[in-house]
Structure 1
Amino acid sequence: MTLIHIVLFKFRQDVSEEHKNKFVTELKKLKSLSCVKGGRLIVGGPSLTDPIERSKGFQIALMSYHEDREALAEYQASDEHHRVTSTYMFPFKEDLIRFDFEVDEEDEYMCHFPQLLV
């Protein structure tokens, strides 16, 4: 089974681009955690949605793959995740959306990737 974890981040208006870039850099380091399936963690932004208003002001997105709910819980509880979110996100956020779902069995084949060297 694969569980996909998606988070959209919106920072306050007074947060600098430098800070947001540092947050993205630190988020990307989380792909090395063993609870991230195959090192599959993607961070992107800004939104290319047209019209941009449909993005509802969210500036950065994260999508990560996990083997199961236990692996996602391990990711969320990790010291590394806590350091990144408590240092670079929670004190500066305006809003965030989190959405987690299990991949249907018939779609699981799309979640098999060659092992990455991280």
Structure 2
Amino acid sequence: MTVVHIVLFKFRADVSDSHKEEFVTELRKLKHLPCVMSSRLVVGGPSITDPIERSQGFQYALLSHHKDRQALAEYQASDEHHRVTSKYLWPFKEDVIRFDFEVDGDADSEILPTQSMMGI
């Protein structure tokens, strides 16, 4: 079963916009890891939720797909993931929420289309 990995990020108020942009740029590079299924990793933000209060202060989000729980564990343990989180996230975060869940093969394509499904 495919594992969907969702993370919401809230930075401290003193963190610059340029730092947040660099964080997003570095996160996007993780899509090329072999443990990310078909490069299915997207990062978005800042939040455009209206009213903004519904975002509860979370500014950015990551959504990625992994073949199984082992692939997600490999992603979390990778040197690249460690570099991005230790340099750009942990020293600057106010809060982080992580939520992972499994979907069967049929539901998988409904969540985030692959590049081939989008004609890319």
Same-fold status (TM-score > 0.5): yes
**Greater Cα shift, 104-113 or 22-31:** 104-113
- The Cα offsets for residues 50-105 of structure 1, whole Å up to 9 and x where unpaired, read as 11000000011000000000000000000000000000000000000000000145
Q: Within 2, Cα distance between the matches of 1:71 and 1:29?
A: 17
Q: Give every structure 1 segment of 4 or more consecutive aligned residues whose post-TM-superposition deviation is greater than 2 Å.
A: 108-116
Computed over aligned residues only, the root mean square deviation of the Cα atoms, in angstroms, reads 1.7
Q: Please state whether the residue corresponding to 1:91 is helix, strand or coil.
A: coil
**Which residue of the partner structure matches residue 37 of structure 1?**
37
Q: Within 1, Cα distance between the matches of 2:19 and 2:81?
A: 17
Give 2:100's aligned amino acid.
D
**Which residue of the partner structure matches residue 69 of structure 1?**
69
Give 1:18's aligned amino acid.
S
- The Cα offsets for residues 27-62 of structure 1, whole Å up to 9 and x where unpaired, read as 000000000000010000011111100000001100
2:117 matched to 1:84?
Answer: no
Q: Please state whether the residue corresponding to 1:107 is helix, strand or coil.
A: helix
Give 1:92's aligned amino acid.
F
Distance 1:108 1:115, change over 3 A: closer
Give 2:29's aligned amino acid.
K
What are the within-5 Å matches in structure 2 for residues 1-118 of structure 1?
Answer: 1-110=1-110, 113=114, 114=116
Distance 1:112 1:14, change over 3 A: closer
Q: Percent identity?
A: 68
TM-score by length of 1: 0.92
For structure 1, which runs of at least 5 residues remain unmatched after alignment?
none
Distance 1:94 1:107, change over 3 A: same
